Amino acid sequence: MADVLSVLRQYNIQKKEIVAKGDEVIFGEFSWPKNVKTNYVIWGTGKEGQPKEYYTLDSILFLLNNVHLPHPSYVRRAATENIPVVRRPDRKDLLSYLNGESSSSTSIDRSAPIEIGLQRPTQVKRAADEVSSEAKKPRVEDEERVRLDKERLAARLESHKESIVQTDQIRSTLFYNIYLRTILNGFVFYGF
């Protein structure tokens, strides 16, 4: 499973839709919380005994959405929306990586713990024009054709009706045959 920064890069290069919904960011069938830490080290951290700090997915997405702004305007807008900024020394290198201009960056920490994205159920949506209008309409048949079909069915059932033997007929015929045999056997037995 890829880390969130690699998935973000892939989606950005391929110009695929990235959906920010509530507190999560959705990449196709996977999602991560907005505040998930990426493995991109913030400039100036992790040196001289300081712990490494990492940019969040939300801060990098905000940079991508506001890349057209000059850095001071970007910083002011991020501050008004309470989103951590990508520092100026990281900006060029990070954008180069996310746009596919470079294959890696020295600021990417391959040993950083990564959070695995949650798999979302795939939803298949049909466009309104894809739905066949004929599928929703009832079938209208020619009345003459329906009448002919009914007559044929009635004729078939009538022909089978004549060949069907009722159980009462079987019982009476069987009883009559047994009765005749008994009488005939009695005549033969008594010598008539």
pLDDT of residue 140: 58
- Over 60: is that where the pLDDT of 127 sits? no
pLDDT of residue 10: 95
- Over 60: is that where the pLDDT of 189 sits? no
- Mean pLDDT for 127-135 is 52
Q: What backbone phi and psi angles, to 5 degrees, belong to 51?
A: -70, 150
pLDDT of residue 139: 58
- Mean pLDDT for 11-38 is 92
* Per-residue pLDDT band at 66 (split at 50, 70, 90): very high
Mean pLDDT of the chain: 81
pLDDT of residue 105: 93
pLDDT of residue 30: 87
CA angle 53, 89, 99 (to 5 degrees): 90
Query: Cβ(24)–Cβ(33) under 8 Å?
Result: yes
Q: Helix, strand or coil for residue 190?
A: helix
Q: Which candidate, 73, 44, 43, 75, places its Cα nearest to that of 59?
A: 75
Highest mean pLDDT among 47-56, 57-66, 160-169: 57-66
pLDDT tens for residues 97-118?
A: 999 999 999 999 988 887 777 7
Query: Cβ(36)–Cβ(29) under 8 Å?
Result: no
Q: Helix, strand or coil for residue 106?
A: coil
Instruction: Domain ranges for the chain, please list them.
Output: 4-119, 143-190
pLDDT of residue 116: 73
Q: What backbone phi and psi angles, to 5 degrees, belong to 182?
A: -60, -45
Amino acid in the structure at residue 30: F
- Classify residue 6 by burial, with Cβ atoms within 10 Å: 0-12, 13-18, 19+: middle
Residue 37 vs residues 12, 50, 115, 126, 171: alpha-carbon distances, Å: 18, 17, 8, 35, 88
- Over 90: is that where the pLDDT of 29 sits? no
Number of neighbouring beta carbons within 10 Å of residue 18: 17
pLDDT of residue 56: 95
- Mean pLDDT for 26-50 is 91
pLDDT of residue 124: 42
Number of neighbouring beta carbons within 10 Å of residue 53: 14
Q: Which of 52-61, 93-102, 139-148 has the lowest mean pLDDT?
A: 139-148
Q: Which candidate, 16, 20, 29, places its Cα nearest to that of 59?
A: 20
pLDDT of residue 45: 92
pLDDT of residue 122: 46
